[in-house]
Chains A and B, each alone.
Chain A
Amino acid sequence: MNVGTAMRRKEDPRMITGRGRYTEDIQLPGMLYAAIVRSTEGHAAISSIDVSAAKERPGVVAVFTGADLAGDFASGLAMAWAPPGVEINTPENMPLQPSQVKHVGDPVAVVVATTRGAAFDAAEDVMVDYDPKPVVVDPVAALADGAPLVWESFGSNKTHEWGVSGGDIDAALADADVTITKRFVNHRTSGAPIEPRCSIAEPRGDGMTLYSTTQIPHIARFILGGMLGIPEDKLRVVAPDVGGGFGAKLQVYAEEALVLALAKRLGRPVKWTETRSEHMTTSHHGRDQIIEVTLGAKSDGTVTGCKADIIADLGAYQLLLTPFIPTLGFPVMGGCYKFPAIDIKITGVFTNKMCTDAIRGAGRPEATYWIELSMDKLADELGMDRLELRRKNFPDKEEFPFETALGIVYDSGDYHGTLDKLLEMFDLDEFRREQEELRGKGVYRGVGVSTWVEVCGLAPSRAVGPQGVGLQAAFYESASVRVTPTGSAIVYSGTSPHGQGIDTSFAQIAGDILGIDPQNVTVLHGDTDQGAWGWNTYGSRSLAVGGEALVRAARKVQDKAKRICAALLEASPDDIELTDGKYQVKGSPDKSMTMAEISGAAHIPPNELPADIEPGLEESSFYDPENFVFPFGAHACVVDVDAETGKVKVVRYVAVDDCGRAINPMLIEGQIHGGIAHAIGQALYEQVVYDEDGQLVTGTFVDYALPTAAEIPPFETDRTETPSPVNSLGVKGVGEAGTIAATPAVAAAVLDALEPLGVTELDIPMTPMRVWQAIQAAGGNGGGRAGTAEGGGA
C-alpha cells in the first residue's frame, strides 16, 4: 500500500535542480515581447493616446490601443455567475479599455517589440491624456447617496444583493437571553504567488497555443476561444509548472486574451510577463468585506441565531467569480455549530479598485473570521468559557451527516475530537498560569483558539451549477488511466496543480489500484490537448473530486486487467485478486501475472484475447460528487505583543486538522503549514491599500508585507482522521484549511494579549502601528477603536 505513506514527491527532482519548466522559461523562435501601458488614474475618461513616439523606437513591431483592437474580441472578459432571480450589474470589460479607465492599472495600450527592454522603453513613450473623474474607494461611502459613480450607466455603485436564510431569525434573536453585535473588516489582500503571471501565445497552423500561468487551462480555453473566435479544437492551453496560485491564477485575464489577439495579428509568438507591481495592481485581490454580525444565545450558551449583513467591495468590474466569492462562504456561515437560525445578506459594491475574486479560502476565511471572533465575544458576554461555548454548540459526531439551518449537509465530523487533541498538545491551564506570571513581568502574551469547518471539494454540479447557486458551469472532474505495453501507467487528470503534489498523491492512488510501483506512474495535467475535459484546480477539489475520478478510471483498468489475466490463466475473473503487485488466482499463488505481463498481453496478445475483451488497456471516468466535503479542526495560536512598539510575534502555533483519510500525510502537513502562514500574513502584516485618489500604496513587496521565515513560527501539527462518506477514498480537501482556520486564532491571541491594556477592539491586519495606536487610545480614554480601519493605519 502506497496510500497513507509519506512518499517523497515525484515533482521534486526537477524543482531542486532548476529543471522545472515554468511559463516564463519558455523561449520560442521569433518570439515578441509585449508590455502594457496602464492607467495612472483611479477613474478617468481617455481623452487621447499618442503612440507615435513609441512606434518609432528601435525594435518596436506594433503598438495598439483599445480602439485598435476593438474588433479582435467577440466579447469582454467573462463573469460566470448568474444566480436565479438576482440581477448582477456587470459592465463590459475589454482586454484593453477603449474609452475610460476605472482603476489604477487598467490596461489602455500594448507595445510589442523584439526584446523585453525595447517593449518597456516604448511603453513609457506612449502618451495617454486622461480626463479625471471623481474616485470612490471606500465601499460604505460608495453606497451613500451622492457618491461618485464608478459606472454611471447603472445609476448606483451597488452591484447586486444576495441573501440566504434558514430558520426564523427574528424569533431566534427575540428568544435570546443575550445578543451581541459586532462589526468586522476583512481587509483586501493579494494572492501574491512568488511566480508572477506570464502568458505566451504561439500561432500553430490555423490555431493557437497559449502557455499560461493558470490554475484553469480548460476553463481558459472555453472562455478565450469564445472571445477570440478560435474553435476549441484549434486552441490548446498549456499550464506548465505553475509557481503557486492561491486563487490569483483562478482567472481568465485580459493579458491572456491580449497575447492571443497579438499573436493572431502578427503571426508570431508573443510573450507577456507580469512585473510584481503589475501583480499587485492588476492580478485580482481577495477579501475586502465589512460584516455586521448579530449573534443571540440562551443564558446556558445555546446559540439561537446568527445574522450577518455583508458589504463586499468588488472593485471596478466583474471578473470570473468576483460577485460569487462572498457567497461561496455561505455554506459555513454557521461555523461548526448548531445555529438553528441563520440569516445572511450580501451587498456587492463597485469601487475604483482592482476586482476582488478568489484568494486562498475565497469567502470561507472571511466567514470563519467573523464567526470565531463573534463566538469569543458572545462567550465573554455570557461569562462563559470560550471553548465551553463552542462545545455547547458543536454537533456531536453521532449527529453526522449534520444538516445546518441553511440546508447544507456536513458530511462527517468529530469537532470535540480535534479540540480534545488540540488541548492534549496545548495545555491551556498551564498557559494561563504562565500568562499571568509574564504579565507581572510586563510581557503581554495571549492565546487564541479557533474551531473551524470548511466547505470544499467543489462541487456537486447540481448544488452550484446553473440550477443551484447559479454558476454557469459544472464541477465534475475527469481522469483517464493508460497502461503502456510494458506496464507503466500514465494518468491524465482534469485537475491542474500548482504546488499541491498531485503528481505524487495521484501516483500513489493509481499505483495501489493498478498494482504497480508509483514511481512507474506518470501523472499528466494542465494541457488541453491531453486527456479529457477538466474543471481544473481551486476550492480544494483536486483530491476529493479529481482523485475520486482517478479511482474510478483505475478500477475500470483493474477490472479489465483481471479479465485478461483470468482468460490467460484459464480462471474466472472473480477469482483473480491483486496481492503485492500480482494478479493471482485465489488459492493458487503460483498462478499469477504482473501488470506488465497483463498489459503486454492486452497490447500484443500471445493468443487472441476472448471476443468480449477489446485490446489495449486504457479507461477514463467522469465523477460528479454527491456533496461537498467538510474538513474541520482546532487551532491555537500564542503571541507576544511588545507594548512599547506594538509589534506582535507569534511564539507558538498548534493545529489539529481533520481532512479525512490521508493519502500522503507529508503533503497534508505542507498544505496546512502554508495555509497557516498565509493567514498569519493576513492577520498581522498584509494589506492592499489604496489612497483616497485610488492610487495603490502597496504596489511592491516593499510595501505589501509578505511574511518571511523570521516572522513565522515553527508549527506543531497533528491530525484526526474522520473519513468522508462522499467519496470512496474518504478524503476531504486541505489546500485552504490553514488559511481558513488561522486568521481568527491569531487575531484572538493578539486581543487576549492586549486585554490587560484595555484594548477590546482591533481590526486585522494587526500591524505594529495599529496595535500601538490601540494601546495608546485605550490608555488615554479607557477604550476606543483607534486601531481600527476607521481609525486609520495600514
Chain B
Amino acid sequence: MSTSVHVEVTVNGELRHADIEPRTLLVQWLRDELGLTGTHVGCDTSNCGACTVHLNGESVKGCTVLAVQADGQEVTTIEGLGSADALHPLQEGFWEKHGVQCGFCTPGMIMAAADLLERNPNPSDEEIRHGLEGNLCRCTGYHNIVEAVKAAAGARQEVGS
C-alpha cells in the first residue's frame, strides 16, 4: 500500500512529476501536494461536485479519479481557468450575476459549467439546470448560477462572432 507510483501530469499547463501512493485521489493530490486549494471536497460520495476539475478538457469529479489515472494527461483546475487580470467569461458571469455566496461550491460549479458550455454553447435554462445537477450549492438557490452561466454563454458568443 505504501509503494509509490511515479506520475507525470500536466497541471494547468505545467508538467508535474510526483511519486504518489496509488490510492491518492486526484483531488487530494491537487490540494495537499500541489497546493491547488481552489478545488474543494464537500462529500465522500461524488454527489456534491465541489471537486470538479477538467481532465483533458472534460469535467470530472476529482474525488472519483485516482491521481495515478491522470498520469500522462492534462488537468485543469480553477486556478488554471483564468486569472484576476483575465477572468474567464464564467468567472465574470458568476461575479456579475451574484452566483457566489460562500464560494465553496463555486470553483467546481464553474468548472462543470465550462464543460457544459463547451458541449452546448447556447444552453436553455433547463439544459443548464440539468447540466449542473451534479454540483450542489446550499447558498444561492441556483437562480443566479443559471443567470451567470447564461451571461457567460452570451459573452462567449459575442467574442466568437
**Binary contact readout A13-35 vs B (1 if CB under 8 angstroms, 0 otherwise):** 11111111110110100000000
- A213 nearest in chain B by CB position: B104
| Contact residues in B for A27 (Cβ distance below 8 Å) | 32, 35
| Contact residues in A for B135 (Cβ distance below 8 Å) | 708-709
- B2 nearest in chain A by CB position: A58
* Bound: A523/B22 CA distance, A: 43
Are the C-beta atoms of B44 and A700 separated by less than 8 Å? yes
User: How many interface contacts (CB-CB < 8 Å) are there between A and B?
Assistant: 190
Are the C-beta atoms of B95 and A9 separated by less than 8 Å? yes
**Residue from A12, A14, A674 within 8 A of B138 (CB atoms):** A674
A92 to chain B, nearest CB (A): 31
Are the C-beta atoms of A706 and B130 separated by less than 8 Å? no
Are the C-beta atoms of A673 and B42 separated by less than 8 Å? no
* Bound: A666/B144 CA distance, A: 10
From known contacts A195-B40, A196-B41, infer whether A676 and B141 are also in contact, taking CB-CB under 8 Å: yes
Are the C-beta atoms of A12 and B133 separated by less than 8 Å? no
B71 to chain A, nearest CB (A): 20
Are the C-beta atoms of A715 and B95 separated by less than 8 Å? no
* Bound: A303/B38 CA distance, A: 55
Are the C-beta atoms of A499 and B102 separated by less than 8 Å? yes
Are the C-beta atoms of B138 and A678 separated by less than 8 Å? yes
* Bound: A192/B48 CA distance, A: 11
* Bound: A331/B89 CA distance, A: 46
Are the C-beta atoms of B130 and A710 separated by less than 8 Å? yes
Within 8 A of A (CB), among B96-151: 96, 98, 100-107, 110, 125, 128-130, 132-146
Are the C-beta atoms of B139 and A117 separated by less than 8 Å? no
**Residue from B42, B77, B81, B95 within 8 A of A276 (CB atoms):** B42
- A243 nearest in chain B by CB position: B104
Task: Assess whether A721 is interfacial by the CB under 8 Å rule.
Answer: no
Are the C-beta atoms of B79 and A17 separated by less than 8 Å? yes
Are the C-beta atoms of B21 and A117 separated by less than 8 Å? yes
B6 to chain A, nearest CB (A): 19
Chain B interfacial residues counted at CB < 8 A: 61
Within 8 A of A (CB), among B23-75: 23, 28, 31-32, 35-45, 47-48, 50
**Residue from B23, B87, B103, B143 within 8 A of A20 (CB atoms):** B103
Task: Assess whether A525 is interfacial by the CB under 8 Å rule.
Answer: no
- B103 nearest in chain A by CB position: A15
Are the C-beta atoms of A193 and B91 separated by less than 8 Å? no
| Contact residues in A for B146 (Cβ distance below 8 Å) | 709, 714
A499 to chain B, nearest CB (A): 3
A413 to chain B, nearest CB (A): 25
Are the C-beta atoms of B129 and A710 separated by less than 8 Å? yes
| Contact residues in A for B37 (Cβ distance below 8 Å) | 18, 21-22, 24-25
Task: Assess whether B84 is interfacial by the CB under 8 Å rule.
Answer: yes
| Contact residues in A for B161 (Cβ distance below 8 Å) | none
Are the C-beta atoms of A715 and B141 separated by less than 8 Å? yes
Residue of B96, B129, B145 with most chain A CB atoms under a 10 A cut-off: B129
Task: Assess whether B78 is interfacial by the CB under 8 Å rule.
Answer: yes
| Contact residues in B for A58 (Cβ distance below 8 Å) | 2
Q: Chain A: interface secondary structure?
A: loop
| Contact residues in A for B38 (Cβ distance below 8 Å) | 17-20
| Contact residues in A for B103 (Cβ distance below 8 Å) | 11-12, 14-16, 20, 241, 243, 499
* Bound: A13/B107 CA distance, A: 12
A649 to chain B, nearest CB (A): 12
**Binary contact readout A651-678 vs B (1 if CB under 8 angstroms, 0 otherwise):** 0000000000000001101100111111
Are the C-beta atoms of B47 and A702 separated by less than 8 Å? yes
Residue of B102, B132, B141 with most chain A CB atoms under a 10 A cut-off: B141
* Bound: A670/B143 CA distance, A: 8
Are the C-beta atoms of A709 and B100 separated by less than 8 Å? no
Are the C-beta atoms of A701 and B129 separated by less than 8 Å? no
A116 to chain B, nearest CB (A): 8
Residue of A8, A9, A244, A706 with most chain B CB atoms under a 10 A cut-off: A244
* Bound: A715/B141 CA distance, A: 9
* Bound: A242/B36 CA distance, A: 18
Are the C-beta atoms of B138 and A193 separated by less than 8 Å? yes
Within 8 A of B (CB), among A227-264: 241-246
* Bound: A484/B91 CA distance, A: 32
- B50 nearest in chain A by CB position: A194
* Bound: A667/B87 CA distance, A: 22
* Bound: A17/B38 CA distance, A: 7
Task: Assess whether A277 is interfacial by the CB under 8 Å rule.
Answer: yes
From known contacts A194-B137, A706-B138, infer whether A12 and B79 are also in contact, taking CB-CB under 8 Å: no
Are the C-beta atoms of B98 and A194 separated by less than 8 Å? no
Task: Assess whether A712 is interfacial by the CB under 8 Å rule.
Answer: yes
| Contact residues in B for A677 (Cβ distance below 8 Å) | 140-142
Task: Assess whether A275 is interfacial by the CB under 8 Å rule.
Answer: yes
Residue of A21, A24, A195 with most chain B CB atoms under a 10 A cut-off: A195
| Contact residues in B for A21 (Cβ distance below 8 Å) | 37
Residue of A241, A498, A669, A673 with most chain B CB atoms under a 10 A cut-off: A673
| Contact residues in A for B141 (Cβ distance below 8 Å) | 673-678, 712, 715, 738
Are the C-beta atoms of A8 and B128 separated by less than 8 Å? no
**Residue from A8, A276, A674, A700 within 8 A of B139 (CB atoms):** A674
Task: Assess whether B3 is interfacial by the CB under 8 Å rule.
Answer: no
Task: Assess whether A500 is interfacial by the CB under 8 Å rule.
Answer: yes
Task: Assess whether A501 is interfacial by the CB under 8 Å rule.
Answer: yes
Are the C-beta atoms of A24 and B84 separated by less than 8 Å? no
From known contacts A15-B106, A712-B141, infer whether A674 and B91 are also in contact, taking CB-CB under 8 Å: no
| Contact residues in A for B101 (Cβ distance below 8 Å) | 244, 499-501, 670, 674
| Contact residues in A for B87 (Cβ distance below 8 Å) | 16-17
| Contact residues in B for A714 (Cβ distance below 8 Å) | 125, 143, 146
Are the C-beta atoms of B43 and A700 separated by less than 8 Å? yes
* Bound: A36/B82 CA distance, A: 38
| Contact residues in A for B36 (Cβ distance below 8 Å) | 18
Rank and list the top 5 A-B pairs by shortest CB-CB distance, nearest first: A18-B38, A243-B104, A499-B102, A15-B103, A677-B141
What are 19 A-B residue pairs whose CB atoms fall within 8 Å in the complex?
Answer: A8-B98, A16-B78, A17-B84, A18-B36, A20-B38, A20-B104, A22-B40, A116-B32, A117-B23, A195-B40, A196-B41, A196-B42, A499-B103, A669-B98, A670-B140, A670-B144, A700-B44, A706-B47, A709-B135
Q: Given A18-B37, A244-B104, list of 17 further CB < 8 A pairs?
A: A8-B96, A15-B100, A17-B84, A18-B36, A18-B38, A18-B78, A58-B2, A243-B102, A276-B48, A499-B102, A673-B141, A701-B136, A709-B129, A709-B146, A712-B141, A715-B141, A715-B143
